[in-house]
A and B are shown apart, each in its own frame.
Chain A
């Protein structure tokens, strides 16, 4: 990618709030506009990622900010909704079809298990249409194919919660111990409550800008988007809501999305300084280590135990605290990651700043089989 920059980001903290989704979205949009020094009238297109709100949600959010008449398009792809909006926006900028695109992710998710994840009625009624069952099965597969233990799963949660202590936008900001994670309520063996993220509420926005516009405006804090890989289900992928998979031919949507993003960026995993990945549950983060190329398959436990993925390590993963600490407002989670990486690359992450961070990666994946990986650099 040659032309797409992120000129500004904004976020509404992730958590539980009295405010309507429109207010959450408005907050993030105003913050991003201010950060990018862009007026609403200068936006060419608005892309709004959301999973569960009403029809024309982006229109309702923007109605509170400005009625400029440009297209507003709502984008939904489960946990990859934000990534999908950013993918579309970057394509518009790259091809010159737009110079400034506002991408917003916003969500007000109900408490508890996520319902309506694409299951057939028979799956739901017979008790197998349950997202944590999929996470548990993946965790068991990881443990069977590597040295990953229950303690390692707990340690992912401990690490991410430690990171979140310094993130004012996270829902859970208290440290926890391995023992507390293991002793928290069992959900689906081997996963306990503190190894799973909570669906919640929040919003995040980014202003995508064409290179020429960045130069004209002298946007020195703009971050360059180098690669975006977005993939959906192939014949051999397995995730929510599929009730079966090909035993010997399982492929990874994350690995495919990562390969596309790296190729576009002309970079590889060894170039990265910081990663925000989809830690829907503790095992998902470890699975992403190999799928994103941070380590070889089977070496996930070794990478975690080495401390490399902690703040201060070689390649910190989820310095924001990840979804385990922030919670997951489905449509907003990906743009929340982008917010974190952009601020890290700008050196604006305060006590969780990674020294000299110059290249970062974001990763989302989720129901319906979607994954988006983005590589950006300062």
Chain B
């Protein structure tokens, strides 16, 4: 059972039809995992890559005010939990004017060191 992180975190390349976040869904029990795992951590079933239904619902939102060790994002910044239709809730940095209950969608973003990451932002008509 390996966790599929990929070269730039648990992301699909820009333009990938499976969306921004690299997730898997178990063929046996339908459980969705992020980051993607080859074998389901609950039942062991084969878990091919899947597409997450977007947008998701922002259910939790807090602010990081002190720079954490190793973090590259300047404080303060927002971190939230987003609930998706596949039954999974995913943590991530949240950008823009958002509030709990908003529809948000994952988007590619760049860290100050040039590495790719993801953020959640207000859902729009944008297609990744």
- Chain B 34-69 per-residue mask, 1 if CB under 8 angstroms from chain A, else 0: 110000011000000000000000001111111011
B88 interface neighbour in A120, A122, A126, A244, Cβ under 8 Å = A244
B81 interface neighbour in A113, A137, A189, Cβ under 8 Å = A137
Flag whether B96 is at the interface (Cβ < 8 A). no
A375 to chain B, nearest CB (A): 30
Separation of A120 and B9 alpha carbons in the complex (Å): 9
Minimum CB distance partner of B29 in chain A: A235
Flag whether A232 is at the interface (Cβ < 8 A). no
- Whether the Cβ atoms of B87 and A124 lie closer than 8 Å is no
Flag whether A58 is at the interface (Cβ < 8 A). no
What are some 28 contacts across the A-B interface (CB < 8 A)? Answer: A113-B69, A121-B70, A124-B69, A124-B70, A126-B118, A127-B68, A127-B73, A127-B93, A128-B79, A128-B92, A129-B68, A130-B68, A137-B81, A137-B91, A141-B60, A186-B63, A188-B62, A188-B64, A188-B79, A235-B31, A236-B42, A243-B10, A243-B91, A244-B35, A244-B88, A244-B90, A246-B31, A246-B89
- Whether the Cβ atoms of B79 and A243 lie closer than 8 Å is no
A306 to chain B, nearest CB (A): 28
- Chain A 184-197 per-residue mask, 1 if CB under 8 angstroms from chain B, else 0: 01111110000000
In the complex, how many residue pairs between chain A and chain B have their CB atoms under 8 Å apart? 112
Residues of A within 8 A of B (CB): 112-113, 115, 120-122, 124-130, 132-133, 136-137, 140-141, 185-190, 235-236, 243-249
Separation of A57 and B86 alpha carbons in the complex (Å): 45
Q: Kindly list 13 other residue pairs between chains A and B, CB separation below 8 angstroms, not including A133-B62, A133-B91.
A: A115-B70, A126-B92, A126-B117, A127-B77, A128-B79, A129-B68, A132-B64, A137-B91, A141-B60, A186-B63, A188-B65, A244-B33, A246-B31
Separation of A66 and B99 alpha carbons in the complex (Å): 60
- Whether the Cβ atoms of A125 and B65 lie closer than 8 Å is no
B9 to chain A, nearest CB (A): 3
Chain A residues near B9 (CB, 8 Å)?
Answer: 120, 122, 126
Flag whether B15 is at the interface (Cβ < 8 A). no
Separation of A207 and B41 alpha carbons in the complex (Å): 38
Flag whether B98 is at the interface (Cβ < 8 A). no
Separation of A236 and B42 alpha carbons in the complex (Å): 8
A183 to chain B, nearest CB (A): 15
- Whether the Cβ atoms of A189 and B62 lie closer than 8 Å is yes
Minimum CB distance partner of B89 in chain A: A247
Separation of A245 and B88 alpha carbons in the complex (Å): 6
Chain A residues near B62 (CB, 8 Å)?
Answer: 133, 136-137, 140, 188-190
Flag whether B72 is at the interface (Cβ < 8 A). yes
A327 to chain B, nearest CB (A): 18
Residues of B within 8 A of A (CB): 5, 8-10, 31, 33-35, 41-42, 60-66, 68-73, 77, 79, 81, 83, 87-93, 111, 113, 115, 117-118
Interface centre among A120, A125, A128, A141 (most CB of B within 10 A): A128
- Whether the Cβ atoms of B60 and A125 lie closer than 8 Å is no
Separation of A239 and B91 alpha carbons in the complex (Å): 11
- Whether the Cβ atoms of A126 and B34 lie closer than 8 Å is no
Task: Known contacts A124-B70, A125-B71, A137-B81; decide if A247 and B88 are in contact (CB<8 Å).
Answer: yes
Task: Known contacts A130-B64, A235-B41; decide if A124 and B71 are in contact (CB<8 Å).
Answer: yes
Separation of A325 and B45 alpha carbons in the complex (Å): 46
Separation of A307 and B103 alpha carbons in the complex (Å): 41
Chain B residues near A245 (CB, 8 Å)?
Answer: 88-89
A244 interface neighbour in B8, B34, B70, B73, Cβ under 8 Å = B34
Separation of A245 and B81 alpha carbons in the complex (Å): 10
Separation of A97 and B70 alpha carbons in the complex (Å): 44
- Whether the Cβ atoms of A247 and B83 lie closer than 8 Å is yes
- Whether the Cβ atoms of A120 and B5 lie closer than 8 Å is yes
- Whether the Cβ atoms of B117 and A113 lie closer than 8 Å is no
The 5 closest A-B pairs by CB, nearest first: A122-B9, A235-B42, A127-B73, A115-B69, A124-B70
